[in-house]
Amino acid sequence: MSAPMHGVGHNGGPSMEGGVSYRRFVWKKARKGLMGESLPIEVIRMRVRRAEELGLPYKSYASIRASTGRDVVGFLFSSNALRLVRLGDRLAPAYADKLARMKAERIVAAHHPLVPELIEEFEGIDRAGQAPRPYAQWGQQKAVLAKLLGPKLPRDGLVLISEAPFEAEWVEAGKLAGRIDGPLFFGS
């Protein structure tokens, strides 16, 4: 038997060596179990309630849980996703209301020229810090996100809510659970 394949894009699925049909059967059965098709109804109800507390559609929540194996504990919002662009901008009332209702950590990555300390004063924001510069090198993005997120929160329990294309890189740089487009998350 050859060594297992590892690397970017490999999902650790069954090899194609002898006995492949049995391994394929076992693999499909395991994936089906992960996707929640055989969960007790009480667990599904509990997860639906949790998705509502987070302000997420159940399908998105279930997908994140299945891919990471953990609950969503918080969100990292880019200031672009919150439509905060200039000094003095305020959160739209619908955005502020949704943030205030969420039962999770709410962190904002503020792009220049915004001042994180002023954003922290908004209701529904737990903390804010400087965002990585657009198109910054990988190591710089990683360092800025590490400083912003701190050591306590599990990274694979945080979901990025962003809007600008360059912000999508933060998922990998910060080892986050996933990403949702700002307009989709806020329903605009």
Which has more pLDDT, 28 or 152?
Answer: 152
* Residues 49-102: tens digit of each pLDDT: 999 999 999 999 999 998 888 999 999 999 999 999 998 899 999 999 999 999
CATH classification of the domain holding 169: 3.40.50.1000
Within a domain: residue 90? Answer: yes
Containing structural domain, residue 155: 70-186
* Residues 103-132: tens digit of each pLDDT: 999 999 999 999 999 999 999 999 999 999
3-state SS, residue 182: helix
Cα radius of gyration rounded to whole Å, the chain: 19
Cα–Cα distance measured from residue 179 to residue 74, given in angstroms and rounded to the nearest whole number: 12
Model pTM above 0.85: no
Within a domain: residue 51? Answer: no
Let me know: does 70 contact 155? Beta carbons within 8 Å: no
